[in-house]
């Protein structure tokens, strides 16, 4: 016989479901286990974007080191299988509602948000930036000082490195969409706390549903763990193609991590090359100077 859910927990769940319903979200997903990380045997490569001369200014939380090469395993199977809430509107009704959504509407819904404690220290809400029709979305964890000041994501030194990475892929920032899990700067650039992520991430999910990218790249552990709803370390699945709500998702290291650990830039470049192959991108041709 199944264990009964305690009344207090049930009330909390119901309250949370009502909150999500207010946001127009009625689809939920469950982590059904983490696949073994497929480890590439490819040799070390150097990234075509520099990391020297840049200083970290935000998101300083260290992320796990990559696994040492060992054995190649078969292509990973999707590990995030969607499940649909058993009651309420049908899947198709929910999807239709999402289709009616739009980025300006989501920003309007956020308003002058005070839903979590991060509002107390923010200067500007950092909603997101880029093409609403982007095939590629980059997701970080939260704004830093420069982002909080300008109201734009990834504009500090880590942002400059991300821009160089995007350009090395043969794209411009305007071709992709860039956003964060939380829209307000955590104090002292600390990682967002679980309650802040839980409160703010529905807006991120709506952004993704509107943009409908082919590929999502999670920059760092917070973004990856939020979308995949896992507590596994990023090194266990970094660089692997995963399926998330019918889309391809890859987690790689945050540019701020590369500022502290330039040796990891080759790993990230290998990850981005997989993304380029998936999207049919070619790196820009270098112009020769005499
Ligand atoms: S982080 Fe998100 S939920 Fe929290 S105050 Fe800012 S916009 Fe609102």
Which string of b and e fits 39-78 if b means at least 16 CB within 10 Å? beeeeeeebbbebeebebbbbbeebeebeeeeeeeeebee
Q: Is the pLDDT of residue 66 over 70?
A: no
What share of the chain has pLDDT > 90, as a percent? Answer: 62
For residues 193-222, average pLDDT = 97
pLDDT the model gives residue 82: 37
**Is 57's C-beta closer than 6 angstroms to any atom of ligand 1?**
no
Q: Give 262's contacts (C-beta < 8 A, 6+ positions apart).
A: 51, 52
Ligand 1 pocket mutation, candidates 108, 125, 195, criterion most atoms within 8 A of CB: 125
Distance 140 CA to ligand 1 centre (A): 15
Atom of ligand 1 nearest to the CA of 116: 4
Q: Tell me the pairing of strands 247-252 and 215-219.
A: parallel
Quote the pLDDT of residue 132. Answer: 97
pLDDT of residue 8: 75
Provide mean pLDDT across the span 81-87. 35
Note whether 136 and 215 are within 8 A (CB): yes
CA distance 120 to 142: 15
Consecutive H or E run containing 180: strand 177-180
């Amino acid at each position: 016989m199944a264990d009964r859910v305690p009344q207090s927990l049930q009330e909390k769940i119901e309250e949370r479901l009502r909150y999500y319903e207010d946001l127009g979200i009625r689809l939920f997903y469950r982590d059904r286990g983490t696949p073994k990380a497929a480890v590439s045997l490819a040799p070390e490569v150097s990234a075509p974007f520099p990391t020297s001369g840049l200083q970290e200014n935000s998101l300083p939380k260290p992320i796990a080191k990559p696994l040492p090469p060992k054995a190649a395993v078969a292509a990973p199977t999707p590990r995030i299988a969607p499940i649909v809430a058993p009651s309420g509107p049908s899947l198709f009704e929910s999807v239709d509602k999402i289709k009616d959504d739009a980025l300006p509407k989501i920003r309007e819904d956020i308003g002058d948000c005070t839903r979590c404690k991060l509002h107390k220290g923010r200067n500007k809400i950092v909603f997101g930036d880029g093409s609403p029709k982007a095939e590629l979305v980059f997701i970080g964890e939260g704004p830093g000082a420069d982002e909080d000041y300008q109201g734009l994501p990834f504009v500090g030194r880590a942002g400059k490195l991300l821009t160089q990475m995007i350009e090395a892929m043969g794209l411009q920032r305007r071709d992709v969409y860039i956003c964060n899990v939380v829209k307000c700067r955590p104090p002292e650039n600390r990682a967002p706390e679980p309650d802040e992520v839980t409160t703010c991430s529905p807006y991120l999910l709506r952004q993704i549903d509107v943009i409908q990218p082919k590929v999502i790249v999670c920059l760092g552990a917070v973004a990856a763990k939020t979308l995949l709803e896992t507590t596994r370390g990023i090194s266990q699945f970094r660089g692997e193609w995963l399926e998330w709500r019918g889309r391809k998702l890859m987690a790689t290291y945050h540019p701020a991590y590369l500022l502290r650990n330039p040796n990891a830039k080759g790993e990230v470049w290998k990850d981005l090359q997989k993304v380029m192959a998936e999207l049919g991108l070619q790196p820009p041709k270098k112009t020769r100077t005499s």
